[in-house]
Structure 1
Amino acid sequence: MSDNALELKDVRKSFGSSEIIRGANLSVAKGERCAVIGPNGAGKSTLFNLVSGRFGVSAGAIRLNGRDITGLKPFEINRLGLARSFQISNLFDKLSVYENLRCAVLWSLGYKYSFWQRLNGLRDVHERAEMVLEQIGLRRQRNVPAAVLTYAEQRALEIGITIAGGADVILLDEPTAGMSRSESDAAVELIHKVTVGKTLVMVEHDMSVVFGLADKIAVLVYGEVIACDTPANIRANAEVQAAYLGHDNDELAA
């Protein structure tokens, strides 16, 4: 069994004649928190879509916990232990916070298409949903429709939905985008807490979030991973400074 939770080997993705991902290689160890950074247009979201099965690769291979998942559908990859969030919240707006979480845990607990079972009678589903509700700090909003939550609360709920199914590899796509500094700090604390013992891969533009969370940082430029190292080494990497921030290195050096 591989010690890596996620491995990308020479992964490529083209849309017509445009090659977006150009032979990306990346290994993320089990239990590691890895941030993927890079300038706009580097291919970060495309890379996430390839890993989660939303897009098919043009070439190369992707492995999850040692298993080849290249070409699998998103729901198949999810059932093998990988879950992801999106840049834009995907919630059931008219359902309550609790009901959103309850939907997220059903399949992982073995309740598939059981139309004859009443949800209110599923004790294990209730307990799991309540546990996640407590983890994400939304117990007071338990019965509030998702649509009326604040933006930061919606993002917290989305993180809760992502972890609710028990996946051991979590992909978060810009989890703090659009947040104030205090909201962002709270989100970092939440992500730290809910990903203990799990593998985290995230795309994030806020460098304070990246350096506050990541054990390792992968730098994606023009569809290639040009560096993957500890935050300290990435901060000092001249190639990263030149390729990612050009002549403005203040954000990386902060």
Structure 2
Amino acid sequence: MKPVALELQNVCKRFGKLEIIRGVDLRVEQGERVVLIGPNGAGKSSLFNLISGRERADAGAIVLHGSPITGCKPYEINRRGLSRSFQVSSIFPKLSVFENVRCALLWSLGYRYSFWQRLNGLPKLRARADAVLEAIGLQACRDTLAGRLSYAEQRALEIGITIAGDADVILLDEPTSGMSRSESDAAAELIRRVTAGKTLLMVEHDMEVAFRLADRIAVLVGGQIIACDIPERVRANEAVQRAYLGNRAFAEVT
């Protein structure tokens, strides 16, 4: 059995009287790809917010590489090796594509806050940023303002920013949302390539992408995980089928 990279133990979250996350248990092994699916309002993004420190769990524990991170600030969790993307692209639209990636690399390469150091004079930083751009297929857009990229290119840039710091646990929140079929297929192959050897937990609405990428699929319904298994078994799970009753996207992949 591989080491556990990320573990959730009876995690709960309330907003007032409304219980959003209700006792979630989940183990993601090192190097494993787990895709989290579920109907709208199931609590998928809320769960990501708890893991990444944007919100604090009311109960339970979140463990990264054997150490609790429950209650840690987002930057502390990031520096322990976990990085995430968001549903809505979070880029600097008035900076170039290269500058966006370079910003994401600074801390991981040991560059701290300094008023006296010019970024253009750091060849290691420049070389690493160019390598990330090559990996995500945006080298040709290196000097383009990020806000002028197409939607699919902006999503690719966000994936690049997420992996740039060399975190070994990656959380992607609906990376193919709003894409055409061909764009989703290309994004799935990009994700497969750039997360090779890393641990991936991904929220995905596109069932074709989910079933293609996942080693295991976790199904979140009403704040609870009702199934977590290899894609073939999740596809045949009656409780999952009931949860997606009337959902054409799920029916097509089953």
TM-score of the superposition, structure 2-length normalised? 0.97
How big is each residue's C-alpha offset from its partner over 1:48-68, in whole Å with a ceiling of 9 and x where there is no partner?
A: 000000000000000011110
Q: Contact conserved, 1:241 with 1:249, CA < 8 A, in 2?
A: no
Q: Which runs of 4+ in 1 moved over 4 A?
A: 247-250
C-alpha distance in 2, partners of 1:65/1:160? 23
Q: Contact conserved, 2:207 with 2:249, CA < 8 A, in 1?
A: no
* Deviation of the 1:115 alpha carbon: 1.7
Between Structure 1 and Structure 2, how many residues are aligned? Answer: 252
Runs of at least 5 residues in structure 1 that lack an aligned partner in the other structure: none
- Which residue of structure 2 lines up, in the alignment, with residue 117 of structure 1? 117
CA RMSD of aligned residues (A): 1.1
Taking the TM superposition and a 5 Å limit, the aligned residue runs for 1:4-83 are: 4-83=4-83
C-alpha distance in 2, partners of 1:98/1:250? 36
Q: Contact conserved, 2:206 with 2:249, CA < 8 A, in 1?
A: no
**Structure 1 pair 250/206, CA: closer, same or farther in 2 (3 Å)?**
closer
Residue 20 of structure 1 aligns to a residue in which SS? Answer: strand
* Deviation of the 1:253 alpha carbon: 4.9
* Deviation of the 1:248 alpha carbon: 4.7
* Deviation of the 1:212 alpha carbon: 1.1
C-alpha distance in 1, partners of 2:247/2:164? 40
- Which residue of structure 2 lines up, in the alignment, with residue 181 of structure 1? 181
Residue 103 of structure 1 aligns to a residue in which SS? Answer: helix
**Structure 1 pair 179/114, CA: closer, same or farther in 2 (3 Å)?**
same
Residue 23 of structure 2 aligns to a residue in which SS? Answer: strand
Q: Contact conserved, 1:36 with 1:204, CA < 8 A, in 2?
A: yes
* Deviation of the 1:148 alpha carbon: 0.4
**Structure 1 pair 50/238, CA: closer, same or farther in 2 (3 Å)?**
same
- Structure 1 window deviating more from structure 2 (140-149 vs 119-128): it is 119-128
- Which residue of structure 1 lines up, in the alignment, with residue 250 of structure 2? 251
* Deviation of the 1:112 alpha carbon: 1.3
Residue 220 of structure 2 aligns to a residue in which SS? Answer: strand
Residue 60 of structure 1 aligns to a residue in which SS? Answer: strand
Aligned partner letter, 2:86: F
* Deviation of the 1:116 alpha carbon: 1.0
C-alpha distance in 1, partners of 2:54/2:246? 35
- Which residue of structure 2 lines up, in the alignment, with residue 218 of structure 1? 218
Q: Alignment identity in percent?
A: 65
C-alpha distance in 2, partners of 1:90/1:69? 23
Residue 176 of structure 2 aligns to a residue in which SS? Answer: coil
Aligned partner letter, 2:176: T
Taking the TM superposition and a 5 Å limit, the aligned residue runs for 1:97-176 are: 97-176=97-176
C-alpha distance in 2, partners of 1:219/1:237? 10
